[in-house]
A = this chain, B = another copy of it.
Amino acid sequence: MAGDNMLKLGIPKGSLQDATIALFEKSGWKIRMHHRNYFPEINDPEITCSMCRAQEMSRYVESGTLDCGLTGKDWILENESDVVVVADLVYSKVSNRPARWVLAVAADSPYKRPEDLAGKKIATELCNFTKQYFSGAGIPVEVEFSWGATEAKVVEGLADAIVEVTETGTTIKAHGLRIISDLLSTNTQLIANKKAWEDPFKRRKIEILNMMLQGALRAEGLVGLKMNVPEEKMPAIMALLPSLTAPTVANLYNKDWLSVEIVVTEGIVRDLIPKLHDLGAEGIIEYALNKVI
């Protein structure tokens, strides 16, 4: 059966789409969108791609329409989908703060805690999750589905509180709101259909996908550093280097110098280089990495 050797992969449409396609390219798979064509092309004969809204992805993975897909943890929970969560995919951004769904009220309102909202109206795109949260907490509220622009609803007098996603809270505050509780922290996840996960071919394929995606994500925060070091300074230099991986050392041609090469976190380079320089390292170069496994 054809399906046995073919993995059906779901790519999220919309806000995650460009970042996802860029990550796959770094990982070794080129995905090409065609205008007016629903199935993006991928350069792997063992995979077929589909575009799918993040909100709906887990449904299609659960039903087996797709074998695996990328989507947010929030929407998996909202859909109560029974799927295998293979791994978290934490896209590196300037801010390392995760996206989170928060409960927010008018800044000048008297509400301080979720229980203060008993009997009130809450607008959100994440209805199901929100209902469960409040019923689990024994707080009776009216949860109303919002078609968007949710942040405006409280100020417009259309809801008493909202449950909305945010990273820094800036947009929430800009709408005159105050966050009173964090309900859910979310990030992208790679999920698989339960039956597909039992199929050896599909599972191996998904695991390779995951290894390469993780390798590409890890490389975003790391760089290669190479320098020439006088042999007698080697112990001091070695003591300074972070122990992430063993450095690669080679002899320079006709000289009592060594070549040292390491992989380090990009963030420490600006502190490390001045110290290496002070200890006598020369010809220090830094270069970018595509993947680190």
Contact = CB atoms under 8 A, between A and B. Distances in A.
A249 to B, nearest CB: 3
Contacts of A212: 269-270, 273
Contacts of A34: 168, 170
A37 to B, nearest CB: 6
Given A36-B174, A41-B94, A52 B158 contact: yes
A248 interface: yes
Nearest to A275: B208
Interface in A52-107: 52-53, 55-56, 60, 65, 94-95
A140 interface: no
Nearest to A227: B293
Nearest to A248: B259
Interface residues of A, number: 83
A152 B51 CA distance: 9
Contact of A170 (B36, B148, B157, B247): B36
Nearest to A148: B53
A13 B149 contact: yes
Given A211-B273, A212-B273, 15 more contacts: A13-B149, A29-B270, A41-B95, A51-B152, A53-B147, A55-B147, A56-B146, A65-B157, A211-B274, A212-B270, A223-B290, A228-B246, A246-B283, A247-B252, A253-B258
Top 5 nearest A-B pairs by Cβ distance?
Answer: A249-B253, A28-B270, A286-B291, A284-B293, A245-B283
17 contacts: A27-B270, A28-B269, A29-B270, A30-B94, A36-B174, A38-B152, A51-B156, A208-B274, A212-B273, A224-B287, A226-B248, A245-B283, A246-B252, A248-B252, A253-B258, A259-B261, A287-B287
Interface of A: 13, 27-30, 32, 34-39, 41, 43, 50-53, 55-56, 60, 65, 94-95, 146-149, 152, 155-158, 168, 170, 174, 208, 211-212, 215, 219, 223-224, 226, 228, 234, 238, 245-253, 255, 257-261, 263, 266-267, 269-271, 273-274, 277, 282-293
